[in-house]
């Protein structure tokens, strides 16, 4: 059983991805060279949670990247930098989605702040 994917014409957005490589010798974050990721969807709806000290943001946007549609489709990493809408965002959660009954990647959902 295969899940239907959206049409490529529906995935009209792109972003610049800088993969997090770890820390350099001065304990600063190190990133790979920027790569433009095309044919994705970006939902710009922030999500909040309530805590004892008030509201806390969970993410500013969710990015959907589909296997076979999004090009290129790297293995995304948390703490990487994503640039869209003129701002840098940090990946806080990477959720791989797999086809049912097989270990074939369907998509990634990236939560960014």
Whole-prediction pTM: 0.87
Helix, strand or coil, per DSSP, at residue 60: coil
φ and ψ at 8, to 5 degrees? -60, -30
CATH no., domain 8-112: 2.40.10
Query: Does residue 87 register a pLDDT over 80?
Result: yes
pLDDT band at 11 (very low <50, low <70, confident <90, very high): very high
Residue pair 78/93 in contact (Cβ under 8 Å)? The answer is yes
Of 110 and 4, the structure prediction assigns the larger pLDDT to: 110
C-alpha dihedral, 2 to 36 to 89 to 64, nearest 10° = -10
């Amino acid at each position: 059983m295969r899940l239907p994917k959206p049409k490529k014409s529906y995935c009209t957005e792109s972003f610049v991805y800088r993969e997090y490589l770890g820390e350099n010798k001065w304990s600063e974050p190190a990133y790979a060279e920027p790569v433009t990721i095309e044919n994705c969807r970006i939902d710009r709806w922030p999500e909040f949670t309530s805590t004892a000290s008030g509201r806390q943001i969970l993410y500013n946007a969710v990015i959907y990247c589909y296997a076979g549609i999004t090009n290129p489709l790297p293995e995304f990493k948390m703490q990487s930098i994503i640039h869209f809408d003129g701002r840098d965002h940090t990946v806080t959660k990477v959720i791989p989605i797999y086809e049912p009954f097989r270990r074939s990647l369907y998509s990634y959902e990236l939560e960014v702040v």
